Amino acid sequence: MVDIKFKAYDKKYDCIVEVVEISFETSSALVEYVDEHDGDTIQEYRDFKDVELMQYTGQKDMDGTEIYNGYIIKRDDSDISKCKNRLYIVESKRSGIGDCVGFVFRSLGEYPCNENLFIPRLVDDCKVVGNVFENKELLKWKEK
């Protein structure tokens, strides 16, 4: 069974924070972060409009880092020509059958390369290198 958990991009502090609790009744999330001035752990409620929720995919990268929706990963697609050391965005995607939702890798390259690969069988050779909120420079990445 996959753990259902979330992180969030906090628009107020421009950083990724832990999500402790989600309330759909109040449209808010209780987030937790460490205060950089005194090191205290702080919990505050944020309206949904002030955060971007990022769901855990149930997978970890080659270093054991949990992979969340919105993360940017690097893969060595060594089994496919022209696709080495590619960057991908982790996204959720609804399937064409019913209401099934899964997580996919969307290529950031100039040409589609393994576009929309479903994650579970592909994480052994990938590494989290950032996220779409804090590492916008990676969104402009081009193959070399």
Number of domains in the chain: 2
Residue 81 is predicted with a pLDDT of 47
Q: Under DSSP, is residue 67 helix (H, G, I), strand (E, B) or coil?
A: strand
Token readout for 49 is 């409009």
Q: What is the pLDDT of residue 140?
A: 80
- Residue 58 sits at φ, ψ, to 5 deg, of 90, 5
Q: What is the pLDDT of residue 36?
A: 86
- 96, 131: one domain: yes
Q: Are strands 71-75 and 66-68 parallel, antiparallel or unpaired?
A: unpaired
Is 121 in the same domain as 70? yes
**Would you state the pLDDT for residue 144?**
47
Query: Distances from the Cα of 123 to the Cαs of 57, 66, 96, 110, in angstroms?
Result: 11, 11, 24, 22
| Residue 130: CATH number of its domain | 2.30.30.290
Locate 133 and state its tokens: 């909120």
- Predicted pLDDT of residue 108: 74
Q: What is the pLDDT of residue 19?
A: 98
**What is the pLDDT tens value at each position of the chain, 144 positions in all?**
668 999 999 999 899 999 999 999 999 999 999 988 999 999 999 999 999 999 998 888 889 999 999 999 887 655 554 555 578 888 877 655 555 566 777 777 655 555 555 555 556 778 899 999 999 888 886 554
Question: Residue 11's domain spans which residues?
Answer: 6-53
- 41 and 110 share a domain? no
Q: Are residues 80 and 68 in the same domain?
A: yes
Closest among 62, 82, 57 to 74, alpha carbons compared: 62
Instruction: Give the pTM.
Output: 0.81
Q: What is the pLDDT of residue 78?
A: 52
pLDDT for res 113: 55
Q: Are the CB atoms for 103 and 89 separated by under 8 Å? A: no
